[in-house]
């Protein structure tokens, strides 16, 4: 069965601290996608990254970085030098299968609420 | 700007009524899926459409149905509304390297 676990329900940090959000997934497929989304209070899910299971390279985008480790089935997300605007709920998600028409089903974790205090 | 828009943004319905939610996807995105997000929870997959055909469904009863149109728009229909249907409903549009969500429709059933 597919499952995504975000064990951290809430995290509170002070501005400029680094913070890592954990994501552990379960799947029987060898090909799959992993996603991270940010959901601010307005409710919209903001796309951050999509990574396919064949690409284990870590990725950095500005203050954001992602560490994908298939050996531990983890796809962790780090925010460097956090800012108040980073306060939101962050979701990790899994999609099984690759190819057109088969990637619309995302399995989401429960989300991690990040509060960045000034 | 995700290019995915949903309407309406908020809606209040009475138990037993029917509702239609609308989504306009990005041009060229042939896959659209719908999600229900209850307060404090992660989004739950309802179903997905690929080139106007339903090709995947989550654990939702048949009173949740949908349509996808050639112009990249889609609908979610819910019949016989129940109080537990109160939630944020999100549609998602899938391209080759990205998956964008709309801003959602917040449905309240009273």
DSSP for A38-96, written as a single string: EE-TT-PPEEEEEEETT----EEETTEEEEEEGGGTEEEEEESS--GGG-EEEEEEEEE
Residue of B nearest to A49 (CA): B98
Q: Residue A102 pLDDT more than 80?
A: no
Q: Which residues of A touch B (CB under 8 A)?
A: 4, 35, 37, 42-47, 50, 91, 93, 95, 100-111
Q: Residue A101 pLDDT more than 60?
A: no
Q: Do B58 and A105 touch (CB under 8 A)?
A: yes
Q: Residue B68 pLDDT more than 70?
A: yes
Closest partner CB to A104 (pick from B56, B97, B103): B56
Residue B68 to chain A, least CA–CA distance (Å): 13
Closest partner CB to A104 (pick from B2, B44, B94): B94
Q: Which of A114, A86, A111, A115 is nearest to A6 (CA)?
A: A111
Report pLDDT digits (tens) over B5-56: 999 999 999 999 999 999 998 877 888 999 999 998 999 999 999 888 998 8
């Amino acid at each position: 069965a597919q499952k995504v676990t975000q064990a951290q329900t809430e995290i509170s940090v002070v501005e400029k601290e680094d913070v890592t959000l954990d994501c552990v997934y379960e799947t029987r497929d060898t090909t799959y996608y992993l996603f991270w989304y940010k959901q601010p209070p307005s409710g919209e899910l903001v796309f951050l990254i999509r990574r396919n299971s064949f690409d284990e390279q870590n990725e950095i985008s500005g203050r954001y970085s992602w560490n994908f480790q298939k050996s531990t089935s983890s796809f962790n997300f780090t925010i460097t030098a956090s800012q108040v605007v980073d306060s939101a709920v962050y979701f990790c998600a899994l999609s099984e299968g690759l190819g057109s028409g088969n990637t619309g089903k995302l399995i989401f974790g429960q989300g991690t609420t990040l509060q960045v205090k000034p | 700007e995700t290019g995915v828009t949903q309407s309406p943004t908020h809606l209040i319905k009475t138990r037993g009524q029917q509702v239609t939610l609308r989504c306009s996807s990005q041009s060229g995105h042939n896959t659209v899926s719908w999600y229900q997000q209850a307060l404090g929870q992660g989004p739950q997959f309802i179903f997905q459409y690929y080139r106007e055909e339903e090709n995947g469904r989550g654990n939702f009863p048949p009173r949740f149905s949908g349509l996808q149109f050639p112009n990249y728009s889609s609908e979610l229909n819910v019949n016989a509304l129940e109080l537990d249907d109160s939630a944020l409903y999100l549609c998602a549009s899938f391209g080759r390297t990205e998956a964008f969500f709309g801003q959602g429709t917040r449905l309240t059933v009273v």
